[in-house]
Amino acid sequence: MSGPIIEVEGLAKEYRRPVRVEGPLGGLRSLLSPRHVTKRAVDGVSFALAEGELVGYLGPNGAGKSTTIKMLTGILRPTAGLVRVAGLVPWRERERHARNIGVVFGQRTQLWWDLPLRDSLELIGRLYGVERARHRATTARFTELLGLGPFLDTPVRQLSLGQRMRGDLAAAMLPEPRILFLDEPTIGLDVVAKERIRDFIATRNRRDGTTIVLTTHDLDDVERLCRRIVLIDDGRVLYDGDVARLKERYAPHRRLVVQLADGAGWHGVRVPGVARDDEADDAPGQVTLRFDPAGTRVADVITAVLARHEVTDLSLVEPGLEGVVHRIYAARGAA
Amino acid sequence: MSAAHPIPRHRAYRLLVTAAFRAEFQYGGNLLLTLAGGVVAQSVGLVFLWTVTTRFGDLGGWPMAEIAFLYGMRLTSHGLLVVPTSQLHSLDLAIRTGEFDRYLVRPAGPLMQLLCRRVHLPTLGDLATGIVVLSLAAHHVGFEPTPTALLYLGLALVGGALVEGACQLAVASLSFRMLSNLALRGLIDDIMNTFGGYPLKAFPDTARLALTYLLPVAFVAYLPAGVLLDRADGLQITPWLAYGAPLAGPLLYAAAYLLWRAQLRHYSSSGT
């Protein structure tokens, strides 16, 4: 077992921005004696990824997600701290590093805007010095997997967002990078396109062993793809670990939704630790119970409900990541 | 293991340039029209030159044909520069839109990628006009195409391109720290365009000195043209500096590139 493929230690980034001096001759004074404000966008972030991991890097807007990714990809130089990706310091050995990574920014394309998609893929293959036969094989495989065929000869500027995104993913993965950085890869896409992209990402990780760092606001992406997440806010790590453990810690309760038969009344259940959920938005004849599976067995709750009521439907609801993350940010905001 | 391997820089450059030309031609075959536009634009300057010299006979002691030779040299240098580097003007745009991020995650130099983001076809018109004017003027001034003279001319043209390029690159580098310095860049372009093609001797001493040492306009074409036209004695400058003028380009460009590299460290990407 070798060391981690991504090492981040005490990483910090400060932005210094000039402030315009107000008052007479403000413009001139700003130029001659500039004043600056310093903002610490990333403030001591540390984590390590093993090769082959697929990690969700989450945080609200302005938390420092993008800034971290930009330091990992070699776009920005850190103010302090250490970054090592596949043994290289990204900004110092930028071009060597670039050959190890693939990057997809959901909001802007990496493709040649005015050229057909086919040409962009061809150019990427040559620019990254990919051996010809291997390039042809990979292009054919990705074209099939991502369904690029129908628009390979369309100029990129004429592609729909979903098509362009698939093209971008193919381009990023053509040189078969060891690490793939995805920044909001499903933003603005419809359900079908999202699924296709998630499938592709999951397969690259599972089959090719590509290490993947994913930032997203779509927590469905995370639930579908990631086992581990790193949650940051205000430039610091709030949580780093299993998705399942995160839910246990921040949202331990499960919910049982009971649909009573027509006309039947609710008489309650006498099981310790089970209560009616005040937050639930119950329809008529519907009752939502909450309990902690660590202390109360699901079977006991169901038995108790059925013993006293006539029921047409029962469903057990796991806590969603959405609610969990929401709760964490809310708690932090209140603190 | 990644399938990527290093490729030589010149091959990367050729790939990117070819892509830029191909992209430009996707918009239909309007090459001739754009070229014609470039030629017409530059000809306006020629008409002005012609008007001035026919009215005054000569400028700073240089007759019409010699000024045309100087003007042709400067325009050819300018063409040699702007055909491959017109996109330097888009640096602010590339920074603002985040396009510059992309250059930094690819295995090629960011400056090379910026310059190859597009080609601006009308610049070919600048180059073509420059060559035509220079050839005609060379004939009129009785320029003798000895191997030495031709070699010096070639070096001077490339050197002149690099002097202008160095000024533009140095100022563009400042974009990494202070966004939008287009006004400053426009000013430098204007000065180069306005004074670069005339004998600086015709201007007051302060202006001449400023255009030699402050903004090295003199090194673009005036000094080497003076050498080629046997006017080195009247250039009001140490002869070795006049003869060595073609060397100023590579030296200044190297310095400007170092400045670019240093400023690039301050790149802070855009908001998102």
pLDDT, tens digit (0-9, with 9 covering 90-100), for A266-318: 888 888 888 888 777 888 889 999 888 888 888 889 999 998 888 999 988 88
Please check the confidence at residue B231 and state whether its pLDDT lies above 90. Answer: no
Domain boundary among A223, A247, A271: A247
CB contact under 8 A, A74 and B19: no
Neighbours of B170 (CB within 10 A): 19
Structural tokens at position A307: 């013993």
pLDDT, average across residues B3-15? 94
The CATH number linked to A69 is 3.40.50.300
Domain boundary among A247, A271, A301: A247
Task: Classify each residue of B2-41 as buried b or exposed e, where b means 16 or more C-beta atoms within 10 Å of its C-beta.
Answer: bbbeebeeeebbebbeebbebbbeeeeeeeeebbeebbee
Structural tokens at position B268: 């802070």
How is the beta sheet containing A286-291 ordered, strand by strand? A275-276, A286-291, A254-260, A311-317
* B101 neighbourhood in chain A, CB within 8 Å: 70, 75, 105
Q: Tell me, what's the pLDDT at A124?
A: 96
Q: Based on the domain organization, do A139 and A271 belong to the same domain?
A: no
A102 located within any domain:
yes
Structural domain for A297, as ranges: 252-318
pLDDT digits (tens, 9 = 90+) for A19-43: 766 777 766 666 667 777 888 899 9
Contact with chain B for residue A40, Cβ under 8 A: no
Give me the percent of chain B exceeding a pLDDT of 90: 53
* A95 neighbourhood in chain B, CB within 8 Å: 6, 107-109
Contact with chain B for residue A123, Cβ under 8 A: yes
Please check the confidence at residue B254 and state whether its pLDDT lies above 50. Answer: yes
Q: How many structural domains does chain A have?
A: 2
CA neighbours closer than 13 Å in the CB half-sphere of residue B12: 23
A3 located within any domain:
no
A71 located within any domain:
yes
Give the separation between CA A263 and CA A258, rounded to whole angstroms: 14
Q: Scanning every residue of chain A, which has its alpha carbon at the shortest distance from the alpha carbon of B106?
A: A98
From B22, B98, B104, residue closest to A74, measured CB to CB = B104
Regarding predicted confidence, which is higher, A30 or B235?
B235
Regarding predicted confidence, which is higher, B30 or A297?
A297
Q: What is the DSSP letter of A55?
A: E
Q: Based on the domain organization, do A136 and A204 belong to the same domain?
A: yes
A274 located within any domain:
yes
Residues 6 or more apart in contact with residue B41 via CB below 8 angstroms: B122, B125, B126
Give the separation between CA A282 and CA A259, rounded to whole angstroms: 10
Mean pLDDT score across all residues of chain A: 89
pLDDT digits (tens, 9 = 90+) for B160-169: 999 999 999 9
3-state secondary structure of A191: helix
Structural tokens at position B264: 């690039």
Chosen for mutation from A89, A100, A114 (greatest number of chain B CBs closer than 10 Å) is A114
The least confident of A30-44, B140-154, B160-174, B224-238 is: A30-44
Closest-CA distance of chain A to residue B220, Å: 31
Please check the confidence at residue A54 and state whether its pLDDT lies above 50. Answer: yes
Please check the confidence at residue A335 and state whether its pLDDT lies above 50. Answer: no
Give me the sign of the Cα torsion angle A111, A113, A116, A120.
Answer: negative
Q: Based on the domain organization, do A153 and A292 belong to the same domain?
A: no
Q: Based on the domain organization, do A64 and A145 belong to the same domain?
A: yes
pLDDT digits (tens, 9 = 90+) for B76-95: 999 999 999 999 999 999 99
Q: Tell me, what's the pLDDT at B1?
A: 67
Prediction ipTM score: 0.86
Residues 6 or more apart in contact with residue B138 via CB below 8 angstroms: B69, B72, B145
CB-based burial label for A116 (10 Å; 0-12, 13-18, 19+)? buried
Contacts 24+ apart (CB under 8 A), A73-76: A73/A101, A73/A103, A73/A181, A73/B104, A73/B105, A74/A98, A74/B104, A74/B105, A75/B101, A75/B104, A75/B105, A75/B267, A75/B269, A76/A13, A76/B267, A76/B268, A76/B269
Task: Give the bridge partners for A314, in sequence order.
Answer: A258
Q: Tell me, what's the pLDDT at A219?
A: 84
Q: Based on the domain organization, do A119 and A134 belong to the same domain?
A: yes
pLDDT digits (tens, 9 = 90+) for A163-175: 999 999 999 999 9
Query: Residue A245: which pLDDT band, with cuts at 50, 70 and 90?
Result: confident
Q: Based on the domain organization, do A199 and A299 belong to the same domain?
A: no
Closest-CA distance of chain A to residue B174, Å: 13
Q: Tell me, what's the pLDDT at B58?
A: 77
Q: Based on the domain organization, do A126 and A210 belong to the same domain?
A: yes
3-state secondary structure of A244: helix
Chosen for mutation from A95, A101, A142, A216 (greatest number of chain B CBs closer than 10 Å) is A95
Please check the confidence at residue B29 and state whether its pLDDT lies above 60. Answer: no
Please check the confidence at residue A87 and state whether its pLDDT lies above 50. Answer: yes
Distances in whole angstroms, Cα of residue A248 to Cα of each of A224, A241, A245, B224, B270:
18, 12, 5, 79, 37
In terms of Cα–Cα distance, which of A60, A13, A7 is closest to A39?
A13
Please check the confidence at residue B17 and state whether its pLDDT lies above 80. Answer: yes
